Amino acid sequence: MVTDALAGGSEAGEFPLFERFPKLRAIPRARLCALPSPVQKLEGISEGGELWIKRDDLNAPLCGGNKVRSLEFLLGGLNAGDSVVTVGGAGSTHILSTALHAGRLGARTIGLRWAHEMNPVADQVSEKIGSLMPGMPVRQSAVVALAMARYRSLAGNARYIALGGAIPLGVLGHVNAALELADQIRRGDMPMPDRVVLPLGSGGTAAGLLLGFAIADLPVEIVGARVGPRAFVNRRRVLGLADRTALMIGRLTGNRLPGIDPARLRIVQNVYGGAYGRPLAASRDAANILHSATGIGLDDTYSAKAWVAALDECRIARGPVLFWLTFDAKCLTS
């Protein structure tokens, strides 16, 4: 069961990051999102405490989710006729989101992909990418795909976007998301969460939320559900990305930002299926419960695994748990 109303928080048109740091308005930004995304209380689903969801599947009219927040900055200043080169796995929602939103701006996307273990939703994402970029094969080697992407961007004078958009410029979108949530809490749209649970892949979303909560002075723990190999998905990467983003903001604004407390970041290891893209039986069952109650769809690669972690956290948390939904199922039908 879901509460009847979806609480939106900030008024339309506000961008908390720019209100906090006006000098950042000078950074080119493509207006792709419809913010703020609502928060919603979930009733009768968790066995433990209070459970909420941040509906980032509703943060854009076309292909929402976490990636579009980064793309507002990563595609800023892009013109019709320009080209974008990016990289990811065969079922990369980042590549799909980049192609769709760059297309809204009249630009062409070249997505270099590599093979990985697949699941039904990843197959749908891969098929959708193929329809947008016909003739672009999936490589067997990530190293080859990455090298080709760099070459294509340089040779074609195209804008290069790193894996998952996880660079400080892209992380700004997630710093704004944290400040957006702080506004929603301040307005009473939801109570202060004890922890926020989200999937952890390339790390940009977690890094931005971690930094944004520090800026807003919110005592919230970030719980990242690891969905990729530990060598690439780890605390050092997230903390380093948050620190580099803080340095960039400080350099551009002259502001001294608060320090990031590493204790506010915890990584859950037990929902990783042993390979990127490999589904978990437990996550499928849990995702079906959410879909039956709300109509919200999850993907097996990222959000369904984080949803399992969110349900686990509800059993032990001292306060409300917020599940940050990073996947928008309508990307597959738009």
User: Residue 196's domain is classified under what CATH number?
Assistant: 3.40.50.1100
Q: Are 42 and 51 in contact (CB under 8 A)?
A: yes
Residues 115 and 223 in one domain: no
**Residue 137, C-beta contacts closer than 8 angstroms, at least 6 positions apart:** none
**What mean pLDDT comes out for the span 225-242?**
97
If pLDDT is split at 50, 70 and 90, which confidence band does 46 have? confident
pLDDT of residue 1: 34
Residues 115 and 44 in one domain: no
Q: Are 168 and 241 in contact (CB under 8 A)?
A: yes
pLDDT of residue 279: 93
Output the six-digit token pair for 104.
Answer: 């809204």
Residues 241 and 305 in one domain: yes
Q: Please say if the pLDDT value at position 6 is more than 80.
A: no
Q: Which residue has the tokens 């195209």?
A: 158
- CA dihedral of residues 324, 327, 328, 331 (deg, nearest 10): 160
Task: Specify the amino acid at residue 1.
Answer: M
**Residue 127, C-beta contacts closer than 8 angstroms, at least 6 positions apart:** none
Q: Please say if the pLDDT value at position 334 is more than 90.
A: no
Coil, helix or strand for 325?
Answer: strand
Residues 204 and 301 in one domain: yes
Residue at which a domain ends, from 115, 140, 165: 165
Residues 231 and 259 in one domain: yes
Residue at which a domain ends, from 150, 165, 180: 165
Residues 208 and 254 in one domain: yes
Distance of alpha carbon 247 from alpha carbon 168, whole angstroms: 9
Q: Which of 166, 244, 169, 184 is nearest to 16 (CA)?
A: 184
Q: Please say if the pLDDT value at position 329 is more than 80.
A: yes
Q: What is the pTM of this model?
A: 0.95
pLDDT of residue 229: 96
Q: Are 281 and 244 in contact (CB under 8 A)?
A: no
Distance of alpha carbon 216 from alpha carbon 264, whole angstroms: 14
In a domain, 208, yes or no: yes
Cα of 64 vs its chain's centroid, Å: 10
Residue 135, phi-psi category: left (phi > 0), alpha (psi -120 to 50), beta (remainder)? left
pLDDT of residue 7: 37
In a domain, 256, yes or no: yes
Domain that residue 85 falls in: 69-165
Residue at which a domain ends, from 165, 180, 201: 165
Question: Count of domains in the chain?
Answer: 2
Distance of alpha carbon 186 from alpha carbon 10, whole angstroms: 10
Q: Are 317 and 191 in contact (CB under 8 A)?
A: no
